[in-house]
Structure 1
């Protein structure tokens, strides 16, 4: 599928595709994107999973979350990210501890340069076989040479995960955290891509910061959620 034939929703600052990223990636030109931030699909191993339920400390439990695609091999889509990212630009990818090393290998295998391992302290714990988990991780890479940014703060980002009625998606990440990374790594009107946009937290962060956003989502439910979110903005 070419991205021009995928179902699409477009505004002045955002373009959303209802598609499988792997099916439309060929439609993105080489070196056309200034930043990629994404929280990709992967299987949860142990940890917060009990009897097919995703459990949270506050008693929030999501059943049958609507993910028909739970895992896409990292070495299938990460090379496409490398191709479409401009030189001297950055790629941020969320991960848990179990997938960190696989993602890192896929990135370095296609010549991404490792920059930082950032930690999201999400101010809540998830049950685990060993120590309850409170952190998620953000791997930061660059393509080509270093580009000066406006890097501030530290490698630990403390932001509360959305909960309750404010939560649109089971694995939603804080908009403030994404805003921070976008602000540090891009300039106004540059183009940011999220190939697995979920409920469009990255899109909201981009619009608030006057960046151009491109998002791709395969699930109908979350694509509709993303459309409504952008309309409200």
Structure 2
């Protein structure tokens, strides 16, 4: 069993999240914020290559081909979430209905947010809409933590560019790396300082960096060794930039 009381800053775990979830104590997680596979790779028409710009990646990655079943998470999510906890999950249009089907009856409230990417990949073939929006399902019970900001900041619609510049990891390049600005916005609203944030699909550690920047504690789980290694390095660097000593915990 994971000793969550011993986590002063963060705990990073390499392996299968379905196994590690069983080790998380009941009612110990204040915010579940994760970005699981969308299962969109099977709809891909293949990467597009050009002689005048870099390749456009439509194939995502092999991990996106692994079928995700939201029903698999119901029992553990309900068990580990604290009485004041919240759940925010990035998802695609093809899985949104499945999340709603299994979770709507389990929580007092099931809502959604839309992240509008202000700089989406251009439509080179000009044969469809630009893929400029992503969905985030949101779930909570009465009495949940809720830091209501200005009315203008509480829309269920967020506009922010995709990761670019220094924020975007060049290696390993994660095809769905989320921007810190979007993650920070959610964490600020849905948790308090020193709360424990969980991301079971950690990727390259963006949720952890955002959480630590806002003085939250963090548990990250990642099955891909390359991504996990990148997360450890990135989160160590994020902690070292703060005004307290690094208390690294990895497994």
TM bucket, shorter chain: 0.7 to 0.9
Residues 1:150 and 2:147 are matched in the alignment:
yes
Match of 1:163 in 2: 164
Task: State whether residues 68 and 219 of structure 1, in contact with CA within 8 Å, keep that contact through their aligned partners in structure 2.
Answer: no
Note if contact 2:39-2:68 (Cα within 8 Å) is conserved in structure 1.
no
Matched, 1:177 2:182: yes
Higher strand residue share: 1
CA drift of 1:129 comes to 6.6
The structure-2 alpha-carbon separation of the partners of 1:84 and 1:46, relative to structure 1 and needing over 3 Å to count, comes to same
Contact 1:46–1:129 (8 Å) recurs in 2: no
Contact 1:183 1:209 in 2 (8 A): yes
Count residues in correspondence: 221
Choose which of 5, 10, 17 in structure 2 pairs with 1:14.
Answer: 10
Equivalent of 1:125 in 120, 123, 127: 120
Question: Does the 8 Å CA contact 1:66/1:219 hold for their aligned counterparts?
Answer: no
CA distance in 2, matches of 1:60, 1:198: 22
Normalising by structure 1, we get a TM-score of 0.84
Q: What are the equivalent positions in structure 2 for 1:73-152 lying under 5 Å apart?
A: 73-109=69-105, 111-126=106-121, 127=123, 130-142=128-140, 144-152=141-149
C-alpha distance in 2, partners of 1:132/1:225?
Answer: 30
Contact conserved, 1:3 with 1:17, CA < 8 A, in 2? no
Name segments (4+ residues, structure 1) moved above 6 Å. Answer: none
Residues 1:206 and 1:166: Cα distance change in structure 2 (over 3 Å): closer
> 1:134-174: CA deviations, max 9, x gaps?
100111100x3133521231111111111366423110111
Say which one has the larger Rg.
Answer: 2
1:213 aligns with 2:218: yes
Deviation at 1:99, TM superposition (A): 1.2
- Asked if the contact 1:54/1:61 (under 8 Å) is kept, the reply is yes
Query: How much has 1:64 moved relative to structure 2?
Result: 7.1
Displacement of 1:45? 5.8
Give unpaired runs (5+ residues) of structure 2: 239-251
- Structural RMSD (CA): 2.7
5+ unaligned residues in a row in structure 1: which ranges? Answer: 5-9
- Partner residue of 1:229 out of 223, 229, 234: 234
Q: Distance in 2 between matches of 1:148 and 1:35?
A: 9
